[in-house]
Structure 1
Amino acid sequence: MSSILLALQFFSVIPVNKNLPMERRSITGMYCVFPWIGAGIGAIACLMLYFEWSSLMTGFSIVFLGVVLSGGLHMDGFIDTSDAFFSYKDRLKRFEILEDPRVGAFGVMAVVFLVIGKVIIISEVLTTESFHWIFVLLIPFFSRVTLGLLFSLTNTAKTSGLAYYFKQRMNANIVIITTACHFFIGLGILGWMTNWMVTVTVAVVIFAFICLFRSWVLKNFGGVNGDLLGASVEISEVILWLTLLVLLS
């Protein structure tokens, strides 16, 4: 229960007004249950499908709820990552930009393209004949699976900050095993409710994204931090929605 409450406290907008233990077991459990926070966000977003709105309005509502329910945490990471990477500075300067609370021009442009692109892609997927509501629930789930595996398999870029604090206090092996189990559960549900071609493709895309994003992070930043992990959630969701659009069109 402490792990669930910690996950809600750190990764959602749900207020948890309680001092929770920050011990190894609780932090490990927090990352183990993290994908289900995404599933919960996706389940709430599914309610938007019952309104008789246009596909564009429904797509906007799904994106809006995803940002609001996560407290904008991952979107903020995407903005900071964009500012840092497109500055084309050295690694030290990039970290200064990541830690700067101000938003630069590159961050603004990147988030505008991200949000508009995500809304359009989702609205297009909604109009396909093979659309299934389970996509809305599982994509936030898979994006958190991606974050959990990336964080467990990659060293932190700095020996300070919240990501380093959590990394030092969690059992990475348990998180990897548990998150991998969640991943296969999600794939099983997806295959059962849609078809196995979609499921296999989604699995390959997620695996490829983890490998490529991890390589990119190590090359440009030397490891992960909170902002980079948040960016991985936003980018992986767009890629998964785009994958569905290509498959279902």
Structure 2
Amino acid sequence: MKGLLLALQFFTIVPVHKNLPMEKQQISGMYSLFPWIGAGIGAIACLGLYFEWSTLMTGFSIVFLGIFLSGGLHMDGFIDTSDAFFSYKDRLKRFEILDDPRVGAFGVMAVVLLVIGKVIIVSEVLAAESFHWIFILLIPFFSRATLTMLFVLTRSAKESGLAHFFKQKMNASRLILATSFNFFVGLFIIGWFTDWMIAITFGVVLFIFICLFRNWAWKNFGGITGDLLGASVEVSEVVLWLTLLLLLS
């Protein structure tokens, strides 16, 4: 329960006004349950399906609610990561840009393209005849499970910050087991409700994404940071929505 409250406190706009312990058990529990926070956000985003809107407006509502309910946390990480990566500076300068609260031109351009692209892709998926509402619920679930797996498998790029603190506290073996179970449950649900080929494809795409993103983080930043993890959530969601669009077309 304390892990769940921590997940709500750190990763959503839910007001949890309580001082909670942040030891190994609670931090590990927080990340084990993190994908289910994503599923909860997706469940609320499903409410957009009940309004007689165009697919474009429904797609916008789904994207908007995902950003709003998470407090824009992952989007902020994506913006900072874009500013740092596209600066083409050395690694030390990139870390300075990550820590800079100001938003640069590259961050603005990247987030505009991300949001517009995501709204269009989601809208196109909604228009497909074989679309199922379960995807709205499970794509945020998978993106957060991906974050957790990346966090566990990749060393910290910095020896400071909240992400580094959490990494020192987590139980890696427990989280790998819990996250693998979460992936299995999510893929099973997709196969059961929709098509097993979609579930298998999602599994392959997620595996490839984790490997590529981890290697990219190693090469360009020497490890993972909180901003990079936030970016992984946004990018993995776009990748999954795009994969779904290709499968349903």
Which whole-Å CA distance do the structure 1 matches of 2:120 and 2:111 have between them?
Answer: 14
In the other structure, the counterpart of 1:20 is 20
For residues 227-246 of structure 1, the aligned pairs below 5 Å read 227-246=227-246
- Determine whether 1:186 maps to 2:186: yes
Indicate the residue corresponding to 2:37 in structure 1: 37
Deviation at 1:181, TM superposition (A): 0.1
Q: Secondary structure at the match of 1:167?
A: helix
Distance 1:166 1:132 in 2: 36
Give, in angstroms, the shift of residue 165 of structure 1: 0.3
DSSP 3-state at the match of 1:204: helix
Per-residue CA deviation, residues 1-35 of structure 1 (Å, 9 max, x unaligned), is 10000000000010100000011100110000000
Shift of 1:160: 0.7
Residue matched to 1:207: 207
Number of the residue aligned with 2:56 = 56
Is 20-29 or 111-120 further displaced after alignment?
20-29
Aligned to 2:109: 109
For residues 143-222 of structure 1, the aligned pairs below 5 Å read: 143-222=143-222
Structure 2: distance between partners of 1:205 and 1:50: 30
Match of 2:89 in 1: 89
Distance in 2 separating the partners of 1:210 and 1:23: 27
Provide the rounded CA distance (Å) in 2 between the counterparts of 1:41 and 1:184.
20
* Alpha-carbon distance in structure 2 between the residues aligned to 1:110 and 1:99: 18
CA distance in structure 2 between the partners assigned to 1:240 and 1:131 by the alignment: 14
Deviation of 1:49 (Å) = 0.6
Name the Cα RMSD after superposition. Answer: 0.4
Length-normalised TM-score, structure 1: 1.00
What secondary structure, in the 3-state scheme, does the structure 2 residue paired with 1:157 have?
coil
Q: SS where residue 53 of structure 2 aligns?
A: coil
Aligned partner letter, 2:40: G
Q: CA deviation at 1:63?
A: 0.3
1:100-139 deviation line (CA, Å, top 9, x unaligned): 0000000000000000000000000000011000000000
User: Which residue is 2:98 aligned to?
Assistant: 98
- Matched to 1:187, the amino acid is L
Q: Distance in 2 between matches of 1:213 and 1:23?
A: 28
Q: TM-score, normalised to structure 2's length?
A: 1.00
CA distance, structure 1, for counterparts of residue 163 and residue 108 of structure 2: 24
Partner SS, residue 198 of structure 2: helix
Q: Distance between the aligned counterparts of 1:179 and 1:155, measured in 2?
A: 17
Kindly report structure 1 stretches of 4+ aligned residues shifted beyond 4 Å. Answer: none
CA drift of 1:232 comes to 0.0
Amino acid at match of 2:145: V
The size of the alignment, in residue pairs, is 249
